[in-house]
Structure 1
Amino acid sequence: MNYLSVFILFMTAGVFYPKENTRTYHVKRTSKDIAITGKGDAPQWAGASVLSDFSYPWEDGQQPSPTSFKALHNEHWLYCLFEVQDNNVNIYTNKHEKKEVISSDRAEIFFKIDDQLTPYYCLEIDPSGRVLDYIGEHYRKFDFQWSWPAGGLIVKTHLTRQGYSIELAISKQSLTSLGLLKNNTLQAGLYRADCVALAGEEATFKWISWIKPQSETPDFHIASSFGVLKLE
């Protein structure tokens, strides 16, 4: 077999190997389905690894209020849980349209196929449970009419005086159909939009991420803001 044939086999197999030093979160396996309540109170969550080193990439010397992320998976689902401490939760509501999430506190998870970001897929979820799902292409070409594949996404949230939690289940079938799940690996960005002021629909944010993107100004829509979720 010649080198060209080997290359074609690797490409058609859809195998993805993370780059050296890529930040990786290991998603542990659970045998049972998780009951999605928005509270993250299912007993399986006790076995998940906790990712808590989120930061302000563009706010020198400042530390955000605590944010944590957990994930688990089983045969059919990827489960994710964001837990956010925030004493000033801002939610913009007018017509209850999904684009109103843009002016609200929220957690975000993006998925990319490759560094070209053509395309990539975005889920932005506010504390009331509204989901802004859209497809993007580099650079900042968004289609907000797009929706996550039907039946492939379950979202519940829980709001308290201390903050909020966002719990979601994403079907592996949807991730596979979008070309995202390869070799038990997902290229994903994990973010939080901290709305520090809201006047009507005009919102002011501080941006939070588990990775410092290679950008001098706030921007998650670039390849360097993504890490890896490795399904064990």
Structure 2
Amino acid sequence: MILAPGDWGNYAAKGAVYGMPHYTTNQTLIVASEDNPFWKSFTPPIDKLPPALAAQLIKAYTDKSGNLSMQPFFDLLAIHELAHAYHNQAGLTMQRRWMGEFFANLMLHTYIAEQEPELLPALTLFPQLVISQGTQGFTFTTLTDFEDKYDDIARQNPRNYGWYQCKLHAAAADVYNAGGSDVIKKLWVALKKDKTKLNDADLIALFTEDVHQSVADVQLKWNGK
């Protein structure tokens, strides 16, 4: 369901900020129809950015009115949400909260890279921009925080949640670049096979041996800064 601001409160999940894609309790996918303060909150003044990055952003995110808008990135997140639907229907065991989000981002990135590569700048530049601004003002930055405080972060700290998603988008890009489209297929099989919750050591071993070292590195090399 694509909603204008005036309709958001009638159909979106309670407390969901306008612009945050999500499913309702009846499994309806909710996305925003237009630019909004939440999306804009991640974008610093263009004159404060390095010239090279500013030029890339202007090229990727300038709307028909000549204004900078992150909508080309956020519009792609519907594919991320569909990935959640696919793995839920297939009964995959995500093992960790971060893996559930990373998996959806990897499926999104793989689809865009393989089927619509002209959209890669729109998909990848926004996460780079958010990460480059650092973590000042964010209470949560570790994967342990994401696991233990997921609901609080998602519902009460939308910008902090957005930062995590951007880190996981960037990780998905790195994994795809390292292993190509085979990685999402191997990850699907691995998460389908193991139904019991694994400890960190066994999970890293699973990713290293059955999927790709780059997936294990998402956890091994995570840096909250």
TM-score under structure 2 length normalisation: 0.29
Higher helix share: 2
Higher strand share: 1
**More contact order relative to length (CA 8 Å, sep ≥ 6):** 1
TM-score under structure 1 length normalisation: 0.28
